[in-house]
Structures are given as C-alpha cells and as structure tokens.
Amino acid sequence: MFPFIFEWVWDSGHYIFFGAMWYVICILTVGLTYCLVKTVKDTLAGDNDHH
C-alpha cells in the first residue's frame, strides 16, 4: 500500500493498482473538502435559500 512496506516493488502492477486507488481517494477527498468548505462559507454568509 505504501512504498515503505517491505513487499513494495516499483513495477507496473503496483503503479496501476495503487495509482488508481490513490487517484480515486484523492478525488473523493477533494470533492468532500470542496463541499464542506463551500457549505461553511455559505452558512456563514447566511445563504440558506436553495429550494
């Protein structure tokens, strides 16, 4: 999972598997962070009328 774990090998299998996994984790983290930051901003600005 991480390069410091003893089985880690710098080969295509590890690049593809873990590249895709960390890529997805990054997308989800960035997406959720964006939602939280925007929500805090909107709430502080008193913008609650979305419907």
Partner 1 sequence: MDSAFIPKGVKRCSFGTFSLGMLVLTAIVFWGFYAAILCWLKGLNQTNMNDSYGFALWIWADLAVIAIGGGAFFTGLLRYVIGLDELKNIINFAVIVGFCCYCSAMLILAIDIGQPLRGWFIFWHANVHSMLTEVAFCLSLYLSVLAIEYIPILLENRKIDEVPFFHNLGHTMHGAMAVFAATGAFLSCFHQGSLGGVTGVLFGRPFGYREGIFVWPWTFFLYTWSAAACGPCFTMLTCKITEKISGKKLVKDNVYDLLGKISGWMIGTYMVAKIADTLYWAYVTSPSLGFAVMDYYNAHPLHHGIWILILEIVICGVLPAMILISRKGRANATLFTLATILAVIGVCLNRWVMVMTPMAMPVMTFDSWVSYFPSWQEVATTILPLAGGIMIVSLSFRYLPVFPQEQELNPVD
Interacting residue ranges for partner 1, rule: CB under 8 A: 1, 5, 7, 11, 13-14, 16-18, 20-21, 24-25, 27-28, 31-32, 34-36, 38-40, 42-43, 46-48, 50
CB of 17 to partner 1, least distance (A): 5
Q: In whole angstroms, what is the distance from residue 15 CA to residue 33 CA? A: 26
CB of 6 to partner 1, least distance (A): 9
CB of 19 to partner 1, least distance (A): 11
SS3 content of the chain, % helix, strand, coil (to 5): 65, 0, 35
